[in-house]
Structure 1
Amino acid sequence: MLFLTGTSAFAITTPPPTRTLIARQTTSASTAAAEFITTEYITLPGQTNAHVTIAPHTITIAVPTCIQTLTPDKNGYLPPGTCNALYDYYPSFAAAVVASVAFGVLTVAHITQAAVYKKKFCWVIIMGSLWEFASFTTRSLSTLHQQSVALLLVSQLFVLLAPLWINAFAYMLLARLINFYSPTRSILSIPTPILSVIFVSLDFISFVIQLVGGSWAGPTAPEADQLKGIHIYMGGIGLQQFFIFVFLGLAVKFQFEMKEVDRLGRGRGDQKWKGMLWTLYASFGFITIRIFFRLIEFSAGNTSSNPLPYHEGYFYALEAVPMVFAILCFNVMHPGKVLVGPESELPGVIAMLKPKRAGRKEAGKGYSSLEDGNEVLMKPTVYHLT
């Protein structure tokens, strides 16, 4: 503390205040919320020296304190708004089990299909389905132990982040479709390996942002931190949807280019790419439904005018069901049915940059580059070293 007298100045150093806490059993205006007022006394000691005398002073601060007065039921449930209530509704154990079984079946199906069709990159969608399964399995346990913050937080994080795996899989799939069917093996002059790396990297950025936001918005975090976490998560999920729109634009461009390639007779001669592309559109459509649900839920706030956080039916109808169909799309139309052969694998960025080895001759089906005027075309070839 600095004092000025005339032309001189002197400082008084005040020791740290001591605190005495006295809890009063006095309810606040909202008894249903089980909020009590704790009176906190902070004593500032006096100070005496040659220039000034300051008497001791006590500051009284009323601090709202949550004290549980209601007894939880056998599952740990407490009414919304009361102390230690983690859910805004009574969660259904049966619904959580049904959802976990559905995602478990999808996970097993994708593992089986990836093994049958020998598609290594399908581990990405397996992870997405597995995270959904983990989320709803944990949620099933949480409905029976509703006072467990850890179970609820783990369930929330898995369900918030799992769709990003499905996004990444769709990005990788389109890059492989372009590489397999397009004569130029590129879109907008971007080689397919680089295209895949770009969008998977953008998806990872969105993943990190949503992870930070979801972690901060934990059920027991202070209200200010929860609000900040929700804003961060909304920014990440909005970014995710923006990347989806950009990627869908590239998918539409690929679709028009393939129509022209097929019209000129320069394609592979099959139309399987159409079914795979429409499957990709459908999956992104279901993911978009889920994203808009989350954006509306969080942007409208946790008030009585916003029914989404207070009715579990919305969560299952607009979160769980769309993600079941988003994953199921790729079970019904699996990439392994379309991307067949060694050329269906996407080359790595480093391998793409290496110069081609000389001394090869044509011996069957595959791809080689030919010049036709100013346009680079592709025709089927396979190369063997001579």
Structure 2
Amino acid sequence: MTTPTPTPTLPSPPKCTTAIPDHRGYVPPTACNANYGFYPSWEWNLVFTIGFFLASLLHIAQMLASRKWFCWVLVMGALWEYACFMLRTLGAFDQQNGGLVVVGTLLFLLAPLWINAFVYMVVARLINFLLPSNSQKIFGLSPRWLAKAFVVADVLSFFIQAAGGGMLAGQDGGDTIQTGQRIYMAGIGVQLAFVVIFAVITVLFTIRLERLMGAGLLEPSHNVTVTRHLVWSMLAVIGLIVVRIVFRFVEFSGGVSSSNPILANEAYQLGLDALPMLIALLLINAVHPSKVLKGPESSFPRTWPRRWRTKLGGEHELLDSSGTELGGQRDGRE
């Protein structure tokens, strides 16, 4: 008779344990009651809070002084970044406060989309304002439709990332975190695809504009140096946005757990997300679009409904967004 070999009992995977928070409420990332995957630095978060606060104030002042009301989009992005880091700074002293973590994380993940949308709006307006009407279309799209199409794509990406970010920032854990990770990565994938396409469009616009300026055909009212600085700053901002998107894609592709070294080190988030966005905001502060987009023709004209056009004096009369009469299409532009 043979004795049956006993089946070895495999040890069950270790479960997390509840840790006792230290004086700042911090517990190790592997603990059940951990809210952070790292020990947050209140000093660096305070530095970014001050930086985004100053950038926000400057953008509000520049919007009011120039009366370029579409800049509210950029102001929203700057204020969201400021609010995010204010909450992160407070959270460093109250790390067991789940509300600070959830709201701060959501703002951190979504604020750059406002900056992204603003770049779409500015470049489309520059194309409409600076190029002759016969060379404004790029990939068959007029400047007005470029702005609409890419802003809509940005809004779509915003909602996808908001849905995924809400799951990532929540306290549910488990399958919810994994689902949120996939949804968020899909959202940043959509954003990256459209940003790359728009970068190509911006490069084509820059080439056309450089040819125009090189031939001395830019209208005398436009300062060539300032115009060139603004266009190249927009390209730089697009590059900073791409850096931030690629970082987030790489970050979450490694999984949402304490074993992911990127999630376990706050320096990556500060250096590859917060810093590029702060530089982008300050760069736009330094070369503000209002330095080039001047006068009623710098805004997209608004075509009023037929009954209002008739009352205002003509079937084809146009008014710009501020109500200034244009008396028809300039150079055949809408």
TM-score by length of 2: 0.84
Asked whether the equivalents of residues 135 and 156 of structure 1 are also in contact (C-alpha less than 8 Å), the reply is: yes
Asked if the contact 1:136/1:155 (under 8 Å) is kept, the reply is yes
Deviation per CA, 1:188-237: give whole Å up to 9, x if none.
34222222111111100000000000011234123111011011101101
> Which among 114, 136, 142 is matched to residue 186 of structure 1?
136
Which residue of the partner structure matches residue 86 of structure 1?
Answer: 35
Q: Is the 8 Å Cα contact of residues 113 and 154 (structure 2) preserved in structure 1?
A: yes
> Is the 1:193–1:349 Cα contact (8 Å) retained in structure 2?
no
Partner of 1:357: 317
- Describe the shift of the 1:342–1:245 C-alpha distance in structure 2 as closer, same or farther (beyond 3 A): same
Match of 1:300?
254
After superposing the two structures, state which structure 1 stretch, 213-222 or 152-161, moved more: 213-222
The runs of 5 or more residues in structure 2 that have no matched partner are: 1-11, 310-314, 319-327
Moved more, 258-267 or 246-255: 258-267
Report the counterpart of residue 344 of structure 1 in structure 2.
Answer: 298
Does residue 65 of structure 2 align to residue 112 of structure 1?
Answer: no
Alignment of 1:144-293 (within 5 A): 144-184=93-133, 186-188=136-138, 189-263=140-214, 265-269=216-220, 270=222, 271=224, 272-293=226-247
Inter-partner Cα distance in structure 1 for 2:285 and 2:32: 44
Are 2:123 and 2:202, in contact at CA under 8 Å, matched by a contact in 1?
Answer: yes
Count, aligned residues: 303
Q: Which moves more between the two structures, 185-194 or 337-346?
A: 185-194
- SS of 1:308's equivalent in the other structure is coil
Letter in 2 for 1:86: N
- For CA contacts below 8 A with separation 6 or more, give which structure has more relative contact order: 2
Distance 2:289 2:249 in 1: 31
Amino acid at match of 2:14: S
* Residues 177, 273 of structure 1: 8 Å contact kept: no
User: 1:302: how far off?
Assistant: 4.0
Distance 1:166 1:114 in 2: 15
Q: Please give the per-residue CA displacement for 1:5-44, whole angstroms capped at 9, x wherever unaligned.
A: xxxxxxxxxxxxxxxxxxxxxxx7637x31xxxxxxxxxx
State the 1:256 CA deviation.
2.1
Distance 1:332 1:367, change over 3 A: farther
Percentage of identical aligned residues: 39
**Which structure's residues are more often strand, by fraction?**
1
**Structure 2 match to 1:73:** 22
Q: Distance in 2 between matches of 1:77 and 1:219?
A: 18
Secondary structure at 2:331 match in 1: strand
1:369 corresponds in structure 2 to 331
* Structure 1 SS opposite 2:208: helix
Structure 1 vs Structure 2 CA RMSD: 2.6
Distance 2:128 2:137 in 1: 9
Per-residue deviation, residues 249-297 of structure 1 (Å, max 9, x unmatched):
1111212222343455543144233211100011111111111111111
Deviation of residue 347 (structure 1)?
A: 2.1
Q: TM-score, normalised by structure 1?
A: 0.73
Q: Deviations over 1:65-86 (max 9, x none)?
A: xxx3x32112211112112011
Q: Which amino acid aligns with 2:180?
A: G
Amino acid at match of 1:253: L
Task: Decide which structure has greater helix share.
Answer: 2
Tell me, which stretches of 5 or more residues in structure 1 are unaligned? Answer: 1-27, 35-67, 359-365, 371-375, 377-386
